[in-house]
Structure 1
Amino acid sequence: MRTTIINILCILLILLCLSGFVSSPMALILGFLFTLFLGKPFEKFIGQTVQYLLKISVVGLGLGMYLMETLNTGKEGFTLTILTISATLILGFFLAKILKIEKRLGHLISSGTSICGGSAIAAVSPVIKANSKIISLALGVVFFLNSIALFIFPAIGHFFHMTQHQFGLWAAVAIHDTSSVVGAALEYGEESLRVATTVKLARTLWIIPVSFISMFIFKNKEGRISIPWFILFFIVAILMNTFFNLPAVLTQSITGISKRLLVVTLFLVGTSLSIKDIKQTGARPFVFGIILWIFISVGSLLFILDIAVK
């Protein structure tokens, strides 16, 4: 009976998030508080549901973008992407030794921090044959830091008087998971959301070369490389909006629904967080993740602001 009541309350909050009256950070807080006081709802289905909703939402956002704008944005973030991914993975390799973090755990946190959070961890973990405990620890660190980023990044952006374009680029580089990237960018503005989504998805493609590098480092020739196919559908949506005369009411409706689905996604992400999981992770992996996160956040921020000055 209790489980049924919890699930019904969860559905009601999902509908509230869909209504448009709940912001991205508030959705995350609602999800966290829900789990804290009532327990995890639909525990067996949340993980997959978050992934599906995120992918559907991102593809829907593609119908609000145009090809040349997207190419120019992706090109602008290319250099920063290479620099930050390479530097973060190298720093993570040596920092894991200094802090005596288990090699696979350190590599997963480094991959999640440098590319795209949980998606990168999920893709790289089978390649390096990480066990479920290591995967859970890495996800715990990344999801916790994602939650913090969703709140503090917009405030930092306003403090430095960043344009929407600059903030979108910074969020895509410095925030781990795609859901938190689009959540923070959505709070900052429409242009910020377009830039952040484009750069983040281009960055997500680096899962493939990093997976191959991981296979070499851990000497696993039988590893299975996971390719983020939903990015192809995102590109198709952009091409459709660019070359076909789609009714504005259609594209605006789909992008509007996609934004609300992103808020629902963040609520569900919040329900997957728990104080118990955070405590079980321990201090050293968090210290490791925080140092990497500060490195990539501050480094990319200085790079972006320096370009603006020049």
Structure 2
Amino acid sequence: MIAWMGVGLVALLALGGFIASPLALVIGFLLAGFGWVPRHFNPAQRAKQLLAIAIVLLGFGIQLETALAVTGDALGLIVASIVLTLALALLVGKALKLELSTAHLIGSGTAICGGSAIAAVGPAIRARSDQMALALAVVFILNSLALLVFPLVGHYFELDQYTFGLWAAVAIHDTSSVVGAAQAYGDEALLVATTAKLARALWIVPLVILSALVSARYSDKQGQSAWVLPWFIFGFLGATCIATFLPSGEAVYAWLFLVGKRLLVFCLFLIGLSLTLKRIRAAGFKPLLLASILWIVVAIGSLAWLLQ
């Protein structure tokens, strides 16, 4: 009962706009550490469901012209980061004597969009459940760290909103952490980061197809594994089109966008509830080392690209 009351209180504060996204994550982590997570409650699953809704609502705050401009500006960086990250993942994974499938899953999650990419690529290469769980765990840990670190680094280098948004979209794994870090930085950064990240997520499709072909296991699961694409991408694009071509509803769109932002904060609290010390220990050293190396290289490389 006490655990449910705590979750409910934080939910009210988050949805009411009284808690910032990094603080919501920390509160969730602390509650999980004290064992105050309600029984039979899966916060990670709930966060995934609510995050999809939040991202669709954020689409109402973006104009299509802006989306196309952001995607075009970042296309070279997006393609380069994906290719180099995957190549580096296989090379470093081999040096660390990790299983090829594990290294490929971690590289896929780092290169595109974290858990979504791992979940999509896993069936294509017939990865074992323990390999997928391990990759998800290490990416999840770094996602949570990125929420706190990236805004601090952005302010240290005095990055403008646009540059920070692009940087977050390229260098942070999951969409939830991208929009969370960007929201903490500013509204413009949030719009840029969300747009660029969802455009980048579309690369899941060619990645899954290529992964299946390279693994030489392109069997009867071709149709199923090659088109695993988060539905919220289409919802986000639909909301963006509505806001662009039906401008008469601007007041309603602004309200929906605000709801999306506040729902996002609550999602980050749920992610914090999922980050336990047990999960951190289960991630292991070598997979976490590989994921950290990839993350640091992508973060530094993409920032250098944007600042040149």
Equivalent-residue separation in structure 2 for 1:26 and 1:80 (angstroms): 31
Equivalent-residue separation in structure 2 for 1:44 and 1:17 (angstroms): 19
Change (3 A) 1:103 1:220: same
**Quick one: which amino acid aligns to residue 200 of structure 2?**
R
RMSD: 1.3
Aligned partner of 2:271 in structure 1 is 269
Aligned partner of 1:138 in structure 2 is 135
Deviation at 1:155, TM superposition (A): 1.2
Is 1:19–1:260's contact at 8 Å kept on the other side of the alignment? yes
Aligned partner of 1:65 in structure 2 is 62
Q: Secondary structure at the match of 2:18?
A: coil
**Quick one: which amino acid aligns to residue 79 of structure 2?**
I
Consecutive unaligned residues of structure 2, counting only runs of 5 or more, are none
After superposition, what is the alpha-carbon deviation per residue over 1:51-91, rounded to whole angstroms, capped at 9, x for unaligned?
22111111111111111111001111111000000000001
After superposition, what is the alpha-carbon deviation per residue over 1:136-183, rounded to whole angstroms, capped at 9, x for unaligned?
111111111111111111111111111100000000000011111001
Change (3 A) 1:199 1:6: same
Which of residues 99, 105, 109 is equivalent to 1:108? 105
Is 2:57–2:239's contact at 8 Å kept on the other side of the alignment? yes
Structure 1 runs of 4+ aligned residues shifted over 6 Å read none
Equivalent-residue separation in structure 2 for 1:146 and 1:268 (angstroms): 13
Equivalent-residue separation in structure 1 for 2:4 and 2:156 (angstroms): 40
Consecutive unaligned residues of structure 1, counting only runs of 5 or more, are none
**Quick one: which amino acid aligns to residue 147 of structure 1?**
S
Aligned partner of 1:55 in structure 2 is 52
2:3 equivalent to 1:9: no
2:191 equivalent to 1:194: yes
Aligned partner of 2:292 in structure 1 is 290
1:196-275 equivalences under 5 Å are 196-222=193-219, 223=221, 224-225=225-226, 226-275=228-277
Q: How many equivalent residue pairs?
A: 303
Equivalent-residue separation in structure 2 for 1:40 and 1:120 (angstroms): 28
Aligned partner of 2:94 in structure 1 is 97
TM-score normalised to the size of structure 1? 0.94
Is 2:82–2:111's contact at 8 Å kept on the other side of the alignment? yes
2:79 equivalent to 1:79: no
Aligned partner of 2:178 in structure 1 is 181
* Percent sequence identity over aligned pairs: 46
Aligned partner of 1:161 in structure 2 is 158
Q: Secondary structure at the match of 1:171?
A: helix
Equivalent-residue separation in structure 1 for 2:265 and 2:56 (angstroms): 15
Which shows bigger deviation, 5-14 or 268-277? 5-14
Q: Secondary structure at the match of 2:184?
A: helix
Deviation at 1:44, TM superposition (A): 5.0
Is 2:243–2:249's contact at 8 Å kept on the other side of the alignment? no
**Quick one: which amino acid aligns to residue 242 of structure 1?**
T
Is 1:205–1:228's contact at 8 Å kept on the other side of the alignment? no
Change (3 A) 1:12 1:147: same
